[in-house]
Amino acid sequence: MTKRFVLLTFLSCICAFVFAQKNKDFILTMNQDTVFGKVTLNTSVAHITFKHKRKRVYFHPKTLKAFGIYDKNTGYKYYKSITNARGTSMFVEVLVEGSFKLYKYEKTEMIANSKYTKNLYYIGRTDERLSTITPDSYENAIKVLVRDHPTLSVEAEQSSFQEFPNLIASLNQL
């Protein structure tokens, strides 16, 4: 009887361990609690869906501090909640952390039965003072950022809007 009990307990623990490893996505609540589950991000709505222990909960940017989505091929993508200069709260992807913080905001909209994805970057030294970088404002923003770093000036002039994260990562390493 005790052998069966020990074997059953061991198998239960193994099953629980394997099941626990399945959900690698997580949320970080406003109280700094980390909860693992399944996060679904839909960039056409302003909330995420979090599934934990068969319960589905929706979180808006003002109700959640951060979350991470795990992909076995690329690893984790981290997102956090910020409030932009207009006072709109949103989830942004964390691209670069350091003396300059760089976030990417992706919004999908339907226009004339076609999906349109809009990418904006937010940059700043703190989350309270973020500047928006768009394709139109990119060149001026780069000039201001690298004016004190002549080694990056040439690279900055030759870079494109899509290469912006790499340039900020280089700037943080100086």
Instruction: Express each pLDDT in 8-49 by its tens digit.
Output: 444 444 444 444 446 799 999 999 999 999 999 988 788 999
- Residue 33 resides in a domain: yes
- Residue 36 resides in a domain: yes
Among the residue ranges 46-55, 84-93, 131-140, the one predicted with the least confidence is 131-140
The model's confidence at residue 145, banded by pLDDT at 50, 70 and 90, is: confident
- Residue 89 resides in a domain: yes
- Residue 11 resides in a domain: no
Among the residue ranges 8-17, 85-94, 107-116, the one predicted with the least confidence is 8-17
- Residue 53 resides in a domain: yes
- Residue 103 resides in a domain: yes
How many domains would you assign to the chain?
1
pTM over 0.85: no
Range of the domain at 123: 23-133
Long-range CB contact pairs, 104-110, < 8 A, 24+: 104/165, 106/43, 107/43, 107/44, 108/42, 108/43, 108/44, 109/44, 110/44
- Residue 139 resides in a domain: no
